A and B are shown apart, each in its own frame.
Chain A
Amino acid sequence: GAVVSQHPSWVICKSGTSVKIECRSLDFQATTMFWYRQFPKQSLMLMATSNEGSKATYEQGVEKDKFLINHASLTLSTLTVTSAHPEDSSFYICSARDRGMWAFFGQGTRLTVV
């Protein structure tokens, strides 16, 4: 199946700093990428949808200035958590959609803000 690579797998950062997470589709062109956040023992919450070359569409309640999403190419999307705080600590997962409709997921990034 298609492969989506997410990097880094885990990151620890100091409060107030910014962290960038990359999501790459390795063997297909991802016209749309999705970013999810998952709290411990909970389901995935969609944060935003990004289409290549256009601005991301954020879900209600998600701060677009805090969670910057860039989808500059058909194989790469990035999520930058700006001025991170401990409450931003979470598991972030990206998924990439090909033209066949279904979504392939990255392995996730565990962010811990101290």
Chain B
Amino acid sequence: AQSVTQPDIHITVSEGASLELRCNYSYGATPYLFWYVQSPGQGLQLLLKYFSGDTLVQGIKGFEAEFKRSQSSFNLRKPSVHWSDAAEYFCAVVNTGTASKLTFGTGTRLQVTL
């Protein structure tokens, strides 16, 4: 079965600093990978996704992620963080063999200091 690990439970960065959120997956085949963001009390918004092709994926709000098969990673990055980026971030993988169910990581809470 597939699994997703987000090693960092909580990260604090200063506004304007760069950001990298880590995500590692365990899946036998080529995974479909996603990053979602959740503001408090809200649903999830899709930031970006990787299905195939270019391993560097651009998303909304200035985020990007790089798929590295050799490291089984799909880390999320942003060059300059804004205070409004403070939220919970979830990495997810889809099992294409089981009705496309998403398996989520445990999430990383991002705090941005001014």
Q: How many residues of B contact A (CB 8 A)?
A: 24
Is residue B100 contacting chain A, with contact meaning CB distance below 8 A? yes
Chain B, interface SS category: strand
Please determine whether B94 and A107 come into contact, CB atoms closer than 8 angstroms.
Answer: no
Which residues between 24 and 71 of chain A lie within 8 Å of chain B, taking CB atoms?
Answer: 32, 34, 41-44, 46, 49, 51, 57
B95 → chain A closest CB, angstroms: 11
**0/1 interface trace, chain B 80-114, chain A, CB 8 Å (1 if under):** 00000000001000101001111111110100000
Task: Report how many A-B pairs have Cβ atoms within 8 Å.
Answer: 57
Please determine whether B104 and A43 come into contact, CB atoms closer than 8 angstroms.
Answer: yes
Q: Provided the pairs A101-B51, A102-B49 are in contact, do residues A107 and B102 lie with their beta carbons within 8 angstroms?
A: no
Chain A, interface SS category: strand
Q: Provided the pairs A105-B36, A107-B42 are in contact, do residues A34 and B101 lie with their beta carbons within 8 angstroms?
A: yes
Please determine whether B90 and A101 come into contact, CB atoms closer than 8 angstroms.
Answer: no
By a CB distance below 8 angstroms, the chain A residues around B49 are 102
By a CB distance below 8 angstroms, the chain A residues around B43 are 4, 6, 93, 105-108
Interface residues of B (CB under 8 A from A): 32, 34, 36, 41-46, 49, 51, 90, 94, 96, 99-107, 109
